[in-house]
């Protein structure tokens, strides 16, 4: 898979997550009720775990998904690394919130779980994107024929600091 395709997949999932978080945010501020067949959504939304320092968790989700979406506007390992950082924090926070639902609130919000699934998929894709970007920028460390594959050298910029020949050719062509 190419970095461009990974960026597109990440953007698509970020928009899906943004839709979920925006729906939950709009419903909260409008005073409406979430569409929820089990009633667990309202129980979770009324709990003390639905806000962080007075900010609804759904608003935090909107910000996170927008930040992930923004990383897809840029190529390369720096943008990919930012995406990984955001996604990993989001997965950790989502895990905490899911545990709070199950253990402390004793209710599960289906919208929240949908967001958890989206953010987990985003974490996998952002990690894949980062690994690919580093391999493309890392020269011999990312060359499967070098025998090194995805090693520690891949994440440190390559064993000899060389750039992939195809990447250098593209850079020279742009100059």
Indicate whether 143 pLDDT > 70. no
d(CA 165, CA 148): 17
| pTM, to two decimals | 0.77
**Are the C-beta atoms of 160 and 139 separated by less than 8 Å?**
yes
End-to-end CA distance of the chain: 27
Spell out the alpha helix ranges (H) of 31-164.
40-45, 57-71, 77-99, 110-137, 152-155
Q: List the structure tokens of 1.
A: 């898979």
Share of the chain above pLDDT 90, in %: 69
Indicate whether 151 pLDDT > 90. no
Spell out the alpha helix ranges (H) of 3-76.
3-30, 40-45, 57-71
d(CA 12, CA 72): 10
Residue written as tokens 């997965």? 91
Who's near 165: CB < 8 A, 6+ residues apart?
A: none
d(CA 156, CA 40): 46
Indicate whether 161 pLDDT > 50. no
Work out the average pLDDT over 2-14: 96
Q: Write out the CATH class of domain 3-137.
A: mainly alpha
pLDDT value for 173: 52
pLDDT value for 49: 93
CA within 13 Å, CB half, 144:
1
Residue written as tokens 């943008």? 79
Phi, psi dihedral angles at 46 (to 5 degrees) = -90, -5
Express each pLDDT in 34-69 by its tens digit: 998 888 899 999 899 999 999 999 999 999 999 999
pLDDT value for 168: 53
What does pLDDT average to over the chain?
84
d(CA 76, CA 132): 9
Q: How does DSSP classify residue 49?
A: G
């Amino acid at each position: 898979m190419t970095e461009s395709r990974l960026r597109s997949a990440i953007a698509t999932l970020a928009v899906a997550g943004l839709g979920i978080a925006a729906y939950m945010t709009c419903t909260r501020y409008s005073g409406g009720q979430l569409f929820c067949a089990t009633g667990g959504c309202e129980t979770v939304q009324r709990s003390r775990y639905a806000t962080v320092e007075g900010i609804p968790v759904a608003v935090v989700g909107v910000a996170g998904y927008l930040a992930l979406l923004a990383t897809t506007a840029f190529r390369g390992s720096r943008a990919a690394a930012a995406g990984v950082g955001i996604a990993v924090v989001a997965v950790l926070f989502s895990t905490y919130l899911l545990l709070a639902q199950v253990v402390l609130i004793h209710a599960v919000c289906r919208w929240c779980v949908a967001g958890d699934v989206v953010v987990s998929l985003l974490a996998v894709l952002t990690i894949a994107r980062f690994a690919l970007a580093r391999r493309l920028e890392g020269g011999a460390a990312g060359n499967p024929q070098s025998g090194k594959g995805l090693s520690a050298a891949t994440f440190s910029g390559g064993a000899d600091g060389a750039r992939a020949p195809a990447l250098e050719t593209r850079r020279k062509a742009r100059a």
